[in-house]
């Protein structure tokens, strides 16, 4: 991604940008370094959401903004189908995205972590996630400790992959994906 960003910047005339690869939960910049902090498709999956939000707040200059997206807590993007499917086979999968799982929780969490105000725009999940992406959700969940899947259960789920993918393509799931209003776009102000 950095190479793509550098290529896009080349010849743009912008010379006040510094591209760096860094851990979003452990940034090493002085306070009040940025006018804008962005986080795309990651906050729902962080181990310490509040700590990340506080750190980003400290990095913002007065009047600065944080922009991120997250998902409804029972969204297909946060593994709703996987949790349901695994549960029918006696496998526990931890829920993710609880802290930011509703617009109200987003607002409350941002206020608790120091932001003066916030806006949450809710859009249909299907604009950003298709049934084919549910395979990516499965692959990510099997690798991430946030989903709390025991090692033996990872092997069991892998053996059930085709059954899971069949469920992901079912009429019921496709219709629920079309109805789901689970994509949140958030702007928070320092």
Q: Is residue 19 part of a domain?
A: no
DSSP 33-59: -EEEEEE-S-GGG-S-HHHHHHHHHHH
CATH classification at residue 162: 3.40.50
- Report how many domains make up the chain: 1
Q: What is the pLDDT of residues 138-173, one digit of tens each?
A: 998 899 898 999 999 999 999 999 999 999 999 999
The model carries a pTM of 0.85
Q: What is the pLDDT of residue 172?
A: 92
**Given this model, what pLDDT does residue 137 score?**
87
- With respect to residue 65, please indicate whether it lies within any of the assigned structural domains: yes
CB crowding 92-131: b at 16 or more within 10 Å, else e: ebeebbebbbbbebbbebbeebebeebebeeeebbeebeb
In this structure, is residue 111 part of a structural domain? yes
Residue 22 lies in a domain: no
pLDDT value, residue 5 = 87
Q: What is the strand order of the sheet 183-189 is part of? A: 34-39, 60-71, 183-189, 117-123
In a domain, 38, yes or no: yes
The parent domain of residue 125 ranges over: 33-189
- Alpha carbons within 13 A on the beta-carbon side of 27: 23
41 lies in some domain: yes
Average pLDDT for the chain: 92
**Measured distance CA(125)–CA(76) in Å, rounded:** 8
Measured CA to CA, the distance from residue 113 to residue 111 in angstroms comes to: 5
Q: Quickly tell me which residue has 């298709």 as its tokens.
A: 130
What's the CA gap between 40 and 98, in Å, rounded? 17
CB of 42 within 8 A of CB of 67?
no
Residue 28 inside a domain? The answer is no
- Residue 60 has what pLDDT? 98
For the chain, list residues with pLDDT below 50. none
Is residue 18 included in any domain, yes or no? no
């Amino acid at each position: 991604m950095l190479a793509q960003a550098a290529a896009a910047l080349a010849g743009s005339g912008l010379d006040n940008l510094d591209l760096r690869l860094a851990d979003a939960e452990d940034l090493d910049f002085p306070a009040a370094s940025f006018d804008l902090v962005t986080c795309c498709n990651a906050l729902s999956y962080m181990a310490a959401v509040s700590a990340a939000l506080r750190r980003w707040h400290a990095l913002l200059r007065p009047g600065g903004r944080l922009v991120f997206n997250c998902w409804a807590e029972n969204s297909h993007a946060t593994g709703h189908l996987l949790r349901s499917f695994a549960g029918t086979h006696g496998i526990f999968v931890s829920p993710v995205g609880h802290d930011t799982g509703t617009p109200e929780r987003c607002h409350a969490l941002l206020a608790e972590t120091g932001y003066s105000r916030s806006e949450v725009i809710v859009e249909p999940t299907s604009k950003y996630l298709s049934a084919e992406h549910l395979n990516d959700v499965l692959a990510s969940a099997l690798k991430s400790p946030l989903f709390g899947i025991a090692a033996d259960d990872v092997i069991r789920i892998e053996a059930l992959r085709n059954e899971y993918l069949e469920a992901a393509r079912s009429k019921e799931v496709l219709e629920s994906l079309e109805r789901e209003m689970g994509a949140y776009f958030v702007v928070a102000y320092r």
